[in-house]
Amino acid sequence: MNDGARATLQLELATLRPTRLALHLVGLLLAFTAVAPLFWMVSMSFKGANDIFGVNLVPDHPTLGNFLYVFTQVDFFRYLWNTFFVAASVTIVALFFHSMAGYALARLRFPGRDAIFLAMFATFLISQPVIIVPLFILARALHMLDSYAGLIVPSIFNAFGIFLLRQFYLAVPRELEEAAVIDGAGYFRVYWSIILPLSRPILSALAILFFLANWNSFLWPLTITSDQKLWMVQVAIASFRQQYNASWNYIMAASTVVALPTVVMFVIFQKRIIESIKTSGIK
Amino acid sequence: MVNDALRSDASAIPAARKAAGFRLSNRQREWIAGYLFVAPDALGLLIFVGAPMLLSLSLGFFSVSGFGAYSFVGLANYRRMLADPLFWQSLRVTVLYIVMLVPALYASGLGLALLIQADTRFNGFVRTLLFMPQTVSLVVVALVWQVLLIDKIGVLNRFTSAVGLGSVSWLGDPHFALIAVVVVSIWFLMGFYMLIFLGGLQDIPKEYYEAAKIDGAGPVASFYLITLPLLRPTSFFVLLVSTVTAVCGSQTFDLVYVMTRGGPANTTSLAIFYVYQQAFLFNEYGYAAAMASVLVVVLMLITVLLFMLTRGGRFTYE
pLDDT in tens, B84-122: 999 999 999 999 999 999 999 999 999 999 998 888 888
Q: Is residue B315 part of a domain?
A: no
Q: Is residue B318 part of a domain?
A: no
pLDDT at B263: 79
- pLDDT band (50, 70, 90) for residue B47: very high
Distances (CA, A) of B315 to B136, B238, B306: 31, 12, 11
Same domain, B155 and B214: yes
Cβ pair A263:B53 closer than 8 A = no
Cβ pair A40:B148 closer than 8 A = yes
Phi, psi of B150 (to 5 degrees): -55, 145
Cβ–Cβ under 8 Å, residues A35 and B128: no
Same domain, B162 and B219: yes
Q: Is residue B285 part of a domain?
A: yes
Q: Which helix (H) or strand (E) holds B257?
A: helix B250-259
- Rounded Cα distance between B154 and B137, Å, is 21
Range of the domain at B21: 2-59
pLDDT at B294: 86
Give the count of beta carbons closer than 10 Å to the beta carbon of residue A60.
10
Same domain, B254 and B135: yes
Same domain, B193 and B160: yes
Distance in Å, alpha carbon of A46 to nearest chain B alpha carbon:
14
* B129: chain A residues, CB-CB within 8 Å: 31-32, 34-35
Same domain, B140 and B25: no
pLDDT at B246: 93
pLDDT at A55: 74
Residue B317 has pLDDT above 70, yes or no: no
Q: Which helix (H) or strand (E) holds B64?
A: strand B62-64
Q: CA nearest A163: which of A190, A125, A109?
A: A125
Q: Is residue B283 part of a domain?
A: yes
pLDDT at B314: 39
Q: Is residue B220 part of a domain?
A: yes
- Given A26, A93, A223, which is nearest B115 (Cβ)? A26
Q: Is residue B317 part of a domain?
A: no
Same domain, B152 and B41: no
Q: Is residue B70 part of a domain?
A: no
Cβ pair A125:B29 closer than 8 A = no
Q: Which helix (H) or strand (E) holds B71?
A: strand B70-72
- Collect contacts of A26-30 with beta carbons under 8 A, ≥24 apart: A26/B115, A27/B115, A27/B116, A27/B122, A27/B123, A27/B126, A28/B126, A30/B112, A30/B115, A30/B126, A30/B130
- Rounded Cα distance between A169 and A194, Å, is 11
Same domain, B148 and B24: no
Residue B7 has pLDDT above 60, yes or no: no
Q: Which amino acid is at B60?
A: G
Same domain, B85 and B44: no
- Rounded Cα distance between B33 and A188, Å, is 8
Same domain, B26 and B127: no
pLDDT in tens, B151-198: 777 777 777 777 777 777 888 888 899 999 999 999 999 999 999 999
pLDDT at B1: 40
Same domain, B54 and B86: no
User: What CATH number corresponds to the domain at position B200?
Assistant: 1.10.3720.10
pLDDT at A19: 78
Cβ pair B252:A129 closer than 8 A = yes
| More confident: B169 or B40 | B40
* A133: chain B residues, CB-CB within 8 Å: 56, 59, 275, 279, 285, 288-289, 292
- Rounded Cα distance between A183 and A190, Å, is 10
Q: Which amino acid is at B119?
A: D
Q: Which residue of B has its CA nearest to A26?
A: B115
pLDDT at A4: 60
Q: Is residue B69 part of a domain?
A: no
Phi, psi of A46 (to 5 degrees): -100, 5
Same domain, B38 and B133: no
Q: CA nearest B254: which of A19, A213, A109?
A: A213
Q: CA nearest A195: which of A107, A80, A65, A121?
A: A107
Residue B233 has pLDDT above 90, yes or no: no
pLDDT at A16: 61
Percent of chain B with pLDDT over 90: 43
Cβ pair A35:B199 closer than 8 A = no
Total domain count, chain B: 2
pTM: 0.86
Cβ pair B41:A131 closer than 8 A = no
Residue B10 has pLDDT above 60, yes or no: no
- pLDDT band (50, 70, 90) for residue B315: very low
Give the count of beta carbons closer than 10 Å to the beta carbon of residue A181.
16
| DSSP 3-state of B195 | helix
Domains and CATH numbers, chain A: 3-65 (no CATH), 74-278 (1.10.3720.10)
Q: Mean pLDDT, consecutive 10-residue segments, chain A of 283 residues? A: 59 65 88 91 88 78 87 90 96 96 92 87 80 92 93 92 87 79 80 89 89 94 93 92 81 93 90 78 48
Cβ–Cβ under 8 Å, residues A164 and B82: no
Mutate which of B106, B140, B148, B293 to test chain A, going by most A C-beta atoms within 10 A?
B140
Same domain, B262 and B298: yes
Cβ pair B14:A186 closer than 8 A = yes
